Each structure stands twice: as C-alpha cells, then as structure tokens.
Amino acid sequence: MTESFSTLRINPDRMLDTFNQLALIGTTGDGGVNRTTFSEAHLAARKWFREQIKSSGFEFKTDGAGNHSAVLTCGRSNVQTLLIGSHLDSVPKGGRFDGALGVVAAFEVLRTVKENGISLKLNLEAMDFTDEEGTHLSLFGSSALAGHLHPDDLKNPYSGRENFAAGLARAGLTEEGLLQAKRSKESIAGYLELHIEQGKRLERAGINIGVVSAIVGYGSYRMSYLGRADHAGSTTMEDRLDAGQGVAAFILEVRETVMRDFPNCVANVGKLEFVPGASNIVPARADFLLEFRSPDANQLSQLDLTLTELAEQKAKQFGLQLKAEPLGKHLPNLMSSEIQNAFQKSCHDLGLSSTVLASGAIHDAQSLVDICPIGMIFIPSVDGASHAPREFTRWEDCVNGANVLLQTVLRLAAE
C-alpha cells in the first residue's frame, strides 16, 4: 500500500448526516427504530438506500433475495468483488446502530474511495443484506447469496407462512427468486463488516476496536421437567414432585458451571413457564429453552455434554423426568486470519488500540464463510446495550471503525 492511501480518511460529517437520515426512518422517538423486515419502515429504508446509491453515482444492484448494494467497479473484467456491509432491518423496537451503522460505514467507504479516485484491483460492493435479524428467516439474504437457502427453509418462517408471503409481496420478491440469489464462489473476494459490539468488553477495557476471531457456535434445546400436579395446600413438601425445583436448581448450576469451567462461554435459560401455572397447584411441568455458545468447536461439544448431563442429574435429584429436544446446533465460524491481520495493521497505523475477541451474536458474515474469507470489527457499545432504543455508540468510535474499515479495504483491494 502506498503512503497516500494510509492518510485517507472517511468524511465524518457526511457519514453522520447519512446515519441520521436513516435513523429517522421507522424511529420510535426515543432513539430506537422499528424496522422489522418488510414492514413499511423497512421498505422505506430500502427505498432511501436505493436513492442514496443512485444519487451518489454508484451502480445499484439487487437480487432475488432483495439484497441491495452499491457497486464501485474497478473497470477491469473478470475480477472478484470485495463485499462490505451489514443490514437495514432491526428487531422490534431495536436500536439505530445495529446493522444500520455497518451499511452506512460501508457506503461511506465506497464514497471515499470513489471521490479520491483510488485505483482498485477488485470491485467493491456496499451491501444491505435482507432480514439479518430474522423477522422471517434469520440471515436469509446472506444465506441466499451464499447459496445455502433450501426450499425446506421457507416452509416454517418465524413470522408464519402468511406473514412471510405478504412481506415478500410487499417487497416485490418471490420464493423462487430467493432460491436463485446465489452468487458463485469465484466471484467473491471476501466480506468485511463493521458492527457494534453488543457487549461491554471493549468499553470496560477502554479499547477502540475489537477484531473478531470467530462467531461463536451455539446449541439449543427445548426442555421440560415433568413432575406431578398436586394440591399445594394439602400435599406436604416431602410428597411433591415439583417440576419447579428441578428447573430452579438447573438454572443456578448452569450459571455456576459455565462461569467456573467454561470461562469463554455463555449459557441462558431465556424462556420458562410452569404448567398448569396456578398459585395453588404444584408445578407439574416446567417448560424451558436452554441456549449456550462457545467460540471453539470442541469446547462447544463439551459444554453441550456437560449441560445436558447436568439437566439429567437435576431430574434425578428431584424425582422428575426430563424431556430434551435439540433445537439447533451451529459450529463456530472462524474469521480469516489474513483479514484479522489486515484489520490489526490498520488499527496500528491509525493509532487505535485493538483486541481480538469472539462475537457472541450471529451475523451475516457466517453465511458467507464457505464461499469467501470473512472478517469483522466491533466498536464499543455504551453499557453493552443492544436490541433496545438505549443502544448507543459514541460517534468518535463510529468514525474510528469506519476508518479501520476504509484502510483495510484499501489494503485488500487497492492496487
């Protein structure tokens, strides 16, 4: 990379102006946005992005999955494309940074490269992937682009078949189109994404940039403890088979076990309900969801084994039966070490501190891991807030992240 590239910086004011325009689309009025996939607000944000792309003189590209992008071609034929981006959809009543900042930063990188007339050896493309948050199907835009979407995946969307079909129609998309959005492995040079951390590690350590090593793998189970519904007045404590006792002991010990034996991992019992659920009936059943994550495949298996054994052990301890149905398992996705190195060099040259960390959340990058090298950076989230209107990242940190993204794109794509 020549010296001139290393002094190049994105335009913070232009990026802020763009970011703020976007944050008004579907605003909840308290700093958050409500842009679930194919909602009116989401469609408005997509329209706004198309207009931004065209008015800034980029080629607008879309596909059967509704992925949108701004394309900056290098002018050569038969070259690969480096994808940079994130997503414009949000969770219900989500924050204005999650996803949106990554799209705005990618777009700002393209504008900076274009206006400086940088000579490239790769095409650049600033992406908005459809439905990262899974209003309908988690990561479906990026999965479709990677060719991983299967007709069976469309049969049981989170939103229900009817809402999914109506959403596709509103966006002018079809199921046939989704399954034809695949791009060839040969056409993609890599994928880079800037995202807020959604945790407190960077903020607490006072570090500017997190270079992501992996997206953690996860496993999840639908579990039930089965006891017996007795009258809670006339049945002595000794005579009960109380499903609530089993799940309570399990919840406490899951936390202790993970903190003691799996320090890089997390686990959560996020949903729990007692059946029949009356104040005067001993819980006959406790239905709950267990989820756990690890950045390492072997550790994930070990954690899986440990927690399912623990669940069995608590069933025995309280005379209960355990039902456990695996819901999903996803191995950790490793980021390209070459891209990690490039990010770290960019941080160093920009005078920014960096650390390597795993992403606990899923991201579009993992959809692409089989077709190209992937890389991500995180910037600090104030108080670790995420998926809520109080989600916030200082603008200085956003600018730092965008400059790391710019410098790394130049390292990989400039002549």
CA separation, residue 306 to residues 264, 288, 313 (Å): 15, 18, 10
Candidates 50-58, 66-74, 109-117, 254-262 — which segment interacts with its own copies by CB under 8 A? Answer: 254-262
Amino acid in the structure at residue 172: G
Amino acid in the structure at residue 398: C
For its own copies, the binding residue among 75, 117, 233, 351 (CB under 8 A) is 233
For its own copies, the binding residue among 121, 255, 323, 330 (CB under 8 A) is 255
Q: How many CA atoms lie within 13 A of 295 on its CB side?
A: 13
Return the number of the residue (266 or 382) whose C-beta is nearest its own copies: 266
Is residue 8 involved in binding its own copies (CB under 8 A)? Answer: no
Candidates 34-42, 180-188, 264-272, 329-337 — which segment interacts with its own copies by CB under 8 A? Answer: 264-272
For its own copies, the binding residue among 71, 79, 171, 251 (CB under 8 A) is 251
The pair of structure tokens assigned to 163 is 């809402």
CA separation, residue 193 to residues 31, 85, 151, 221, 343 (Å): 23, 5, 28, 30, 11
Binding-residue pattern over the window 133 to 162 for its own copies, x denoting contact by CB under 8 A: ------------------------------
CB of 322 to its own copies, least distance (A): 16
The pair of structure tokens assigned to 333 is 């996705």
Which one, of 76, 91, 83, 81, lies nearest residue 107 by Cα? 83
| Phi and psi at residue 266, to the nearest 5° | -135, 160
Residue listed under structure tokens 């679930």: 36
Is residue 274 involved in binding its own copies (CB under 8 A)? Answer: yes
Return the number of the residue (18 or 159) whose C-beta is nearest its own copies: 159
Is residue 252 involved in binding its own copies (CB under 8 A)? Answer: yes
DSSP state of 330: E
Element (H, E) at 41: helix 40-55
Binding-residue pattern over the window 184 to 223 for its own copies, x denoting contact by CB under 8 A: -------------xxxxx--------------x-x-x---
The number of beta carbons lying within 10 Å of the beta carbon of residue 314 is: 22
Nearest 10 degrees: Cα torsion 383, 387, 389, 394: 50
Return the number of the residue (17 or 273) whose C-beta is nearest its own copies: 273
CB of 346 to its own copies, least distance (A): 23
| Phi and psi at residue 278, to the nearest 5° | -115, 150
Contact 363, 376 (CB under 8 A): yes
CB of 303 to its own copies, least distance (A): 12
Return the number of the residue (28 or 268) whose C-beta is nearest its own copies: 268
The pair of structure tokens assigned to 184 is 């060839």
Is residue 299 involved in binding its own copies (CB under 8 A)? Answer: no
For its own copies, the binding residue among 13, 176, 238, 325 (CB under 8 A) is 238
The pair of structure tokens assigned to 269 is 């019992």
Binding-residue pattern over the window 359 to 388 for its own copies, x denoting contact by CB under 8 A: xxxx---------------------x-xxx
The pair of structure tokens assigned to 231 is 């009258």
For its own copies, the binding residue among 24, 259, 305, 356 (CB under 8 A) is 259
Contact 404, 352 (CB under 8 A): yes
Residues 385-414 within binding reach of its own copies (CB under 8 A): 386-388
CA separation, residue 265 to residues 219, 222, 259, 292, 389 (Å): 12, 19, 8, 7, 27
Candidates 72-80, 113-121, 142-150, 260-268 — which segment interacts with its own copies by CB under 8 A? Answer: 260-268
Candidates 32-40, 47-55, 268-276, 305-313 — which segment interacts with its own copies by CB under 8 A? Answer: 268-276
The pair of structure tokens assigned to 151 is 């007709």
Return the number of the residue (198 or 344) whose C-beta is nearest its own copies: 198
Return the number of the residue (140 or 292) whose C-beta is nearest its own copies: 292
Is residue 302 involved in binding its own copies (CB under 8 A)? Answer: no
Which one, of 72, 87, 63, 56, lies nearest residue 406 by Cα? 72
Residues that bind its own copies (CB under 8 A): 197-201, 216, 218, 220, 229-239, 242, 244-245, 247-252, 255, 258-259, 266-274, 277-283, 286, 289-291, 293, 327, 359-362, 384, 386-388
